[in-house]
């Protein structure tokens, strides 16, 4: 089990390069980054390791991000884990749907800047720490 001061972030993404990029950006800030190649593997890691935060790609083969999100929210042990959607699907209607209907914690469009990712992670985890 990791030291609780180190936040574990799970990145569910079908592109290994994107996981590497996110790991590079966030590990410099002292976060522990786990990568999951797709939704099924991601859900397994969520159930076994209870990350502090999930970065979730929407457009993946086998199981898309919304399906992963719905399964997380239906799972008593996982429903309170914050989720930031990271996706190339940047149309504003998707953002509105994601944030307001599904109640994701934040939404980042690819390509994103390192500052954008860090600001989102800090904001979401900052909110979580007071809970």
Contact 104, 84 (CB under 8 A): yes
Q: How many domains are there within the chain? A: 1
Residue where the block lists tokens 């109640």: 103
What pLDDT is attached to residue 129? 58
Contact 45, 72 (CB under 8 A): no
Residue 3 belongs to a domain? no
Residue 114 belongs to a domain? yes
Residue 131 belongs to a domain? no
What pLDDT is attached to residue 121? 97
The residues, ordered by sequence, that sit 6+ positions from 20 with a Cβ below 8 Å of its Cβ are: 35
What pLDDT is attached to residue 22? 97
Residue 24 belongs to a domain? yes
How far apart, in whole angstroms, are the C-alpha atoms of residue 26 and residue 76?
Answer: 28
What pLDDT is attached to residue 91? 57
Name which of 48, 40, 33 is nearest 14 in CA terms. Answer: 40
Residue 2 belongs to a domain? no
Q: Which domain holds residue 27?
A: 8-126
The enclosing domain of 90 has a CATH number of 3.40.50.2300
* Whether the model pTM is above 0.85: yes
Regions in the chain scoring below 70 on pLDDT:
1-4, 89-101, 128-131
Contact 110, 15 (CB under 8 A): no
How many Cα atoms are found within 13 Å in the side-chain-facing hemisphere of 83?
26
Assigned token pair, 115: 């500052």
* Residue 109 three-state SS: strand
């Amino acid at each position: 089990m990791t030291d609780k001061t180190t936040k574990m972030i799970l990145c569910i993404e079908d592109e290994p390069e994107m996981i590497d990029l996110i790991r590079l950006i966030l590990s410099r800030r002292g976060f522990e980054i786990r990568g999951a190649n797709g939704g099924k593997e991601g859900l397994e890691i969520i159930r076994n390791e209870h990350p502090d935060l999930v970065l979730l790609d929407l457009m993946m083969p086998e199981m898309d991000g919304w399906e992963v999100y719905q399964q997380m929210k239906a799972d008593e042990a996982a429903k309170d884990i914050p989720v930031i959607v990271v996706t190339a699907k940047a149309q504003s209607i998707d953002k509105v749907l994601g944030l307001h209907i599904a109640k994701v914690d934040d939404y980042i469009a690819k390509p994103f800047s390192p500052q954008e990712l860090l600001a989102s992670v800090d904001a979401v985890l900052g909110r979580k720490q007071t809970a």
